[in-house]
Amino acid sequence: MPELVFFSGTMDCGKSTLALQRIHNRSARGLQGVIFTRDDRAGEGKLSSRLGLMTDAVEAAPEMDLYAYVVGRMSQGDRVDYLIVDEAQFLASEQVDQLARVVDDLDLDVFTFGITTDFRARLFPGSQRLIELADRIEALQVEAMCWCGARATHNARTVGGQMVVEGEQVVVGDVSCPAGEVGYEVLCRRHHRRRMTSAAVRAGALSPDVLPVAAD
């Protein structure tokens, strides 16, 4: 039976790499899929991995009807055996409904990949709807790690290495952005709650205020 599957995890846990691996495996078997993405770090119409792998994709714009797009491709004679959707957290709720319709009405597997919560630890609308509708939810087995060595469970937005908790929900960035730019860091819950990024910890360790003072 075809399924709507949601592969979820924090940033930096290999979601896009797994999406590319699934595309490769199915291509090797002669299967052809439609690949959607949204706001990929590599730019519009790209699905990229931090390992350096990349493929072309269809940019799932906010107003796009994903079901209608797939039906249109099939009506033109294109072969469609499955769908891959990366950065699925950025989809609108109604677009997730359209993906469910692809599964139910077109009998196609739909594999979606995304993070569940934003930098404020709030569910993205797309992820929330996937949790509500998916036939299966898979947590990625490659665990990202907080700077303290614990399992990372939260995504933090940083500016100049400092964690911020205000701003638009969607701001494109990456875990390897230069200092001073908007970036992201994965943290354990404890350090996300305390807003303790790796840069903040390093700065604190170097501050003269925390150095021991010799007694007279």
Which amino acids are annotated catalytic?
87
- The answer to whether 87 is annotated as binding is yes
- The answer to whether 11 is annotated as binding is yes
- The answer to whether 14 is annotated as binding is yes
- The answer to whether 185 is annotated as binding is no
| Burial per residue of 16-35, b for 16 or more beta-carbon CB atoms within 10 angstroms, e otherwise | bbbbbebbeebeeeeeebbb
Residue 112 and residue 85 in contact, taking contact as beta carbons nearer than 8 Å: yes
- The answer to whether 13 is annotated as binding is yes
- The answer to whether 48 is annotated as binding is no
Name the nearest CA neighbour of 129 among 143, 146, 112, 144: 112
Q: Rounded to whole angstroms, how far apart are CA atoms 190 and 164?
A: 16
Q: Cα dist. 112→39, 55, 76 in Å?
A: 15, 16, 24
- The answer to whether 39 is annotated as binding is no
Strands (E), 76-118: 82-85, 109-114
- The answer to whether 16 is annotated as binding is yes
Residues tagged in the binding site annotation for ATP? 9-16, 86-89
* Residue list, annotated binding site: 9-16, 86-89
